[in-house]
Amino acid sequence: MVAKKTGFFVGAVAGAGVAAAALAGVGMRMAPAHAAPQPGVVRTAAAGPMIFAPPPGAPMSFADIFEKVSPAVVSIDVSSRVDARSLQFRGFPFGLGPQGPQNKQGEEGGDDGQPTRPRQQSSGSGFFISADGYIVTNNHVVEGADEITVTLKDGRELKATVVGRDENTDLAVIKVQGSDFTFVNFEKGAKPRVGDWVITVGNPFGLGGTATAGIVSAYGRNLNDDSSSFVDYVQIDAPINRGNSGGPTFDVYGRVIGVNSAIFSPTGGSVGIGFAIPADVADSITKQLISGGKVVRGYIGAQIQNFTPEMAQAMGLEGVKAAVVAQITPGGPAEKAGLQRDDIVLSVNGVAIDSSTALTRQVAMGRAGEVLRLEVIRDGKKRFIDIRSGVRPSNKELASATGGGEEDENTGGSKKAEKPSTARVNVLGMGVAPLDGAARTRYSIGPDVKGVVVETVRSDSDAAEKGVNQGFVITSVNMKSITSPGELSTAVDAAKKAGRPTVLLGLADRRGQTALVPVKID
């Protein structure tokens, strides 16, 4: 699913393919230029004028490629029953946008005369990746479907069943009965360059068999949602709209270079910013779905976040790029192996880690039972931790597992006395008090959370800008556990004397969810 961020909307389009040999290498007829173009000149400060030859002229028509590949593209109509309170426009996960022809809702009576759950009709796109009926689309197109109808270019309507879905990459495979379908290939090798032509074919607003053209705008886009932990999206400017989700983006040789999945738009319509799942990712995922119905990923049981330059500065580790452990799942592989909250992860099996996304992907590549060797920094020293990988649960199971409080990992230092000092302090723009029984009752803080409680936050402070609120618990400073306001004040003073502009606070909210937040020293 696309990011929970205002302005992002998922379209309905499918894409994937194992192209037929007859389609591979499909070319385009290039019209001759009307006039010989003159060489371009680019002036650079260092080298002066640089002469370059002009590129070949743009194609005057995309008709040849459309004629060859369009029979492999299908329209997908989905019927599903949903909770009336959660009705949404499929392709608009935030329930925004006007109701279009591909999104219709109705309600029918049950056998007992009582209303059943409303029926939602929606549509998307997809494409054949094999002659025997396998079709690729987006997970959000067919998720929750109880009836799927596929319409081919020649007008035939076929019933389809779901073979497998992967919510983490928003890909799905469905299948229709038959053995002689036109299909297309994923292009996993030669990627178009930024600026190269691409063409999309799909079912926007229920208007099947629609072609649009544009260029590759960028690679490696992050949509700030769960899928971005596993997908670096291709940005294209070929117009795609609701109903295009799951459809293919082709290069000028008729090869699939991406599966359309989302658009960025303040209105819900195309503004020239669309996102496609790269072909190499789609090819790998769809093969796993066809062979086993699901995608199995490695899992260690740890919530992680980026180790930012601000964090590195606070810890005296300038220049270190890594991920940091924010929370450990009780009873999970990481806890059993001895990984701790606040551990800074530098590598997995020798592969350098420069972000939380890199760590997630590297762990996900592991097979269940495989030993993953993590290089970490703890208490300023490097060490290795071997973790036997488990199987990653579904997103729903993960969300359920992290809904409650977590045990205090008490990393970096010995156990402190349970009874804190009674003195309240003002530090970093916050009023901080002991976490006593009254504070636990007032802010609904569980007994397993240790630290000091934030009672006030100055609105112009860096802490407020970083999202620190009343009722948060500060559990550590620079990865050293604290249990009293005095310890917090002392740690901040020490960082100031060391010339550090920030301190790294370990925070827990009222649900017990933890995170590391760098806060500037006031």
Q: Using one digit for the tens of pLDDT, what is the confidence trace for 206-221? A: 888 888 989 999 998 8
Spatial neighbors of 20 by CB under 8 A, at least 6 apart, are 131, 182, 183, 184, 185
| Res. 151: pLDDT tops 60 | yes
Catalytic residue (choose from 77, 166, 170, 283): 170
Beta bridge partners, 278, equal: 258
| Res. 409: pLDDT tops 60 | no
pLDDT of residue 340: 92
| Res. 277: pLDDT tops 90 | yes
Query: Is residue 225 a known part of a binding site?
Result: no
Dmax (CA) of the chain: 85
Q: In the chain, where does the domain assigned CATH 2.40.10.120 lie?
A: 1-31+55-295
Top-confidence residue, 328 or 97: 328
Maximum average pLDDT range among 38-52, 90-104, 136-150: 136-150
Give dist(CA 24, CA 323) in Å, integer.
41
Query: Is residue 245 a known part of a binding site?
Result: yes
Q: Could you tell me which CATH number the domain at 298-401 has? A: 2.30.42.10
Least confident of 8-17, 346-355, 372-381: 8-17
Residues 181, 131 contacting (CB under 8 angstroms): yes
pLDDT of residue 64: 86
The percent of residues in the chain predicted with pLDDT above 70, rounded, is 74
Q: Which amino acid makes up residue 387?
A: I
Least confident of 151-160, 250-259, 423-432: 423-432
For the beta carbon of residue 378, count every other beta carbon within 10 angstroms: 18
Catalytic residue (choose from 70, 130, 245, 270): 245
- The yes-or-no answer on residue 140 being catalytic is yes
Bridge-based pairing of strands 104-106 and 8-9 is unpaired
**Short-list 340, 134, 125, 338, CA closest to 245:** 125
Query: Is residue 243 a known part of a binding site?
Result: yes
Beta bridge partners, 258, equal: 278
Q: Rounded mean pLDDT of the chain? A: 78
| Res. 484: pLDDT tops 60 | yes
3.40.50.720, 3.40.50.300, 2.40.10.120, 3.40.50.2300: which CATH number matches 1-31+55-295?
Answer: 2.40.10.120
Top-confidence residue, 282 or 115: 282
| Res. 374: pLDDT tops 50 | yes
Complete DSSP assignment for 246-275: T-EEE-TTS-EEEEEEEEE-SSSS--S-EE
pLDDT of residue 224: 62
Residues 276, 261 contacting (CB under 8 angstroms): yes
Top-confidence residue, 379 or 100: 379
Catalytic residue (choose from 77, 80, 125, 140): 140
Kindly indicate the confidence band of residue 108, based on its pLDDT and cuts at 50, 70 and 90. Answer: very low
Q: What is the pLDDT averaged over residues 99-106?
A: 38
Report the half-sphere exposure of 413 (CA within 13 A, side-chain side): 16
Query: Is residue 244 a known part of a binding site?
Result: yes
pLDDT of residue 368: 83
Q: What is the pLDDT averaged over residues 336-362?
A: 92
Kindly indicate the confidence band of residue 263, based on its pLDDT and cuts at 50, 70 and 90. Answer: confident
Q: What is the pLDDT averaged over residues 100-110?
A: 42
Kindly indicate the confidence band of residue 22, based on its pLDDT and cuts at 50, 70 and 90. Answer: very low
Q: In the chain, where does the domain assigned CATH 2.30.42.10 lie?
A: 298-401, 425-520
2.30.42.10, 1.10.1040.50, 2.40.110.10, 3.40.50.300: which CATH number matches 425-520?
Answer: 2.30.42.10
pLDDT of residue 49: 61
